[in-house]
């Protein structure tokens, strides 16, 4: 097979499975509305759960950060790209989330690659929840460590895997709130099982941080668990972009030596760090609590409505509320019917989710109005 034949055949297979992905350029895609070609849609597909992506105080903070620091950091944090803005944000994150240290990354994807690669070696074993995000499973696959998966949220199966002899160390990987199902991991039970075998737990709380728990501290804090490694990302509840790992002093020092993404990559723009500090301040404030409260009302309203429509829900209490449709073509048709009515939702199909579980991944934001939820439910009623 030539290069060209290989590419053509891969594309052909995707088209045949109704799984061909295309992007659509929008004028604005976060928050309550999505605008495309001048038309406004009510947006149920962004991860901007608290509606902070257009918050005036955060936008202003980014502008002021750019006035002060310019638009680029100028280099890796190990050279000259670690500014007082980065340092201040790391200290705020560590204090807020109850860790000794925080280290910033450009994205959650990069953080997961960097941390898993730096932590694991060939005698080690990584045991990951089967539904973990692609960035975690890909990092685990690329690692020289052995990769084992356990059934979604199945603590007994995890324990059985942990009990098998392992020459090196064991790292257990899961999410706080799962990105495609919206359900939560039983972090307390998982951590107890991991500790019994002297392993470490890595929790990626991309969808929980900022959005759940007291002061938005996320899933682990809410369950009174302190994983050895906590990944938080800023492209979702924080409304911005970037990520951090929360860890001990010695692990932070270790990652600064061995995490290649920190050493060989330009650090985030300092102005972005300034904007993120503003976002953290709002998340922790009374305004943040109000936004979480509004979001939680929307979640309950949508869940009641989906139930009444006999659409299959997941066990999710989060802003991610999938309506599982099963068939790829039906999911696409439903998304199309909603779009014709001014509602933007995304059909998620395999291989992002298991075969036969194509779904509409409905995401809610504090920026929605109650009426938006009702409009969505009416449209689902008419289309399904
Ligand atoms: C979105 C997501 C990521 C990737 O984060 P980015 O900052 O968008 O790269 C990582 N892990 C989980 C669980 C996610 O949902």
**pLDDT for 323-382, tens place per residue?**
999 999 999 999 999 999 999 999 998 888 889 999 999 999 999 999 999 999 999 999
Sheet holding 243-247, edge to edge: 101-105, 243-247, 229-233, 200-204, 170-175, 125-129, 146-150
Whether 53 has a pLDDT exceeding 90, the answer reads: yes
pLDDT on residue 384: 79
pLDDT tens, position by position, 59-99: 999 999 999 999 999 999 999 999 999 999 999 999 999 99
| E strand intervals along the chain | 33-36, 39-43, 101-105, 125-129, 146-150, 170-175, 200-204, 229-233, 243-247, 320-326, 343-344, 346-348, 358-363
pLDDT confidence of 34, banded at 50, 70, 90?
Answer: very high
How far, in whole angstroms, is CA 353 from its chain's centroid?
A: 15
Q: Indicate which atom in ligand 1 lies nearest the CA of residue 234.
A: 7
The residues that are catalytic are: 47, 133, 175, 179, 204, 207, 236
* Collapsed DSSP state (helix, strand, coil) of residue 217: coil
Q: Indicate which atom in ligand 1 lies nearest the CA of residue 241.
A: 7
pLDDT confidence of 147, banded at 50, 70, 90?
Answer: very high
pLDDT on residue 193: 98
pLDDT tens, position by position, 181-199: 999 999 999 999 999 999 9
- Find the helix packing angle between 108-119 and 249-258, rounded to 10°: 90
Contact 228, 246 (CB under 8 A): no
CA 295–ligand 1 middle distance (angstroms): 20
Mutation to probe ligand 1, out of 175, 207, 235 (largest number of atoms < 8 A from CB): 235
pLDDT on residue 305: 95
Q: Indicate which atom in ligand 1 lies nearest the CA of residue 109.
A: 9
- In the chain, residues under CATH classification 3.90.1150.10 are 22-49+286-383
**Closest residue by CA, ligand 1 atom 8:** 108
Question: What CA–CA distance (Å, rounded) separates 22 from 5?
Answer: 21
- Find the helix packing angle between 328-340 and 370-383, rounded to 10°: 130
As a whole-number percent, the residues of the chain with pLDDT over 90 amount to 93
- In the chain, residues under CATH classification 3.40.640.10 are 57-284
CATH of domain 57-284: 3.40.640.10
Q: Which two tokens stand for residue 31?
A: 């928050």
CATH of domain 22-49+286-383: 3.90.1150.10
The response to whether residue 237 sits with its C-beta less than 6 Å from ligand 1 reads no
The response to whether residue 175 sits with its C-beta less than 6 Å from ligand 1 reads yes
Mean model confidence pLDDT for the chain: 96
pLDDT confidence of 214, banded at 50, 70, 90?
Answer: very high
Angle at 92 between CA 277 and CA 51, to 5 degrees: 40
């Amino acid at each position: 097979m030539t290069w060209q034949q290989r590419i053509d055949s891969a594309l052909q297979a995707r088209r045949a499975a109704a799984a061909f992905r295309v992007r659509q350029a929008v004028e604005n895609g976060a928050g309550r509305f999505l605008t495309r070609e001048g038309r406004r849609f009510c947006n149920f597909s962004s991860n901007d759960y608290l509606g902070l992506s257009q918050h005036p105080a955060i936008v202003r903070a980014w502008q002021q950060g750019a006035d002060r620091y310019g638009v680029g950091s100028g280099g890796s944090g190990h050279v000259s790209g670690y500014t007082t803005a980065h340092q201040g944000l790391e200290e705020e994150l560590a204090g807020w989330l109850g860790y000794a240290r925080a280290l910033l990354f450009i994205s959650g994807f990069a953080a997961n690659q960097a941390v898993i690669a730096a932590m694991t070696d060939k005698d080690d074993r990584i045991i990951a929840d089967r539904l973990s995000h692609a960035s975690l499973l890909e990092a685990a696959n690329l690692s020289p460590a052995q990769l084992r998966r356990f059934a979604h949220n199945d603590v007994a199966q995890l324990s059985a895997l942990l009990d098998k002899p392992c020459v090196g160390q064991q790292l257990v990987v899961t999410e706080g709130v799962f990105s495609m199902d919206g359900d939560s991991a039983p972090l307390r039970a998982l951590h107890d099982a991991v500790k019994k075998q002297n392993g470490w737990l890595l929790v990626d709380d991309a969808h929980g941080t900022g959005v759940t728990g007291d002061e938005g501290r996320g899933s682990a804090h809410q369950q009174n668990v302190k994983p050895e490694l906590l990944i938080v990302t800023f492209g979702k509840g924080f409304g911005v972009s970037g990520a951090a790992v929360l860890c001990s002093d010695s692990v932070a020092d270790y990652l600064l030596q061995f995490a290649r993404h920190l050493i060989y990559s330009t650090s985030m723009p300092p102005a972005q760090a300034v904007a993120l500090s503003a976002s953290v301040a709002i998340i922790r404030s009374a305004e943040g609590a109000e936004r979480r409260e509004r979001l939680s009302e929307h979640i309950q309203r949508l869940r009641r409505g989906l139930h009444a429509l006999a659409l299959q829900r997941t066990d999710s209490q989060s802003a991610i509320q999938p309506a599982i449709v099963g068939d790829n073509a039906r999911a696409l048709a439903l998304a199309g019917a909603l779009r014709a009515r001014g509602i933007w939702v995304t059909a998620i199909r395999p291989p992002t989710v298991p075969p036969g579980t194509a779904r509409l991944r409905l995401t809610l934001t504090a920026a929605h109005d109650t009426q938006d939820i009702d409009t969505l439910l009416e449209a689902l009623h008419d289309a399904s």
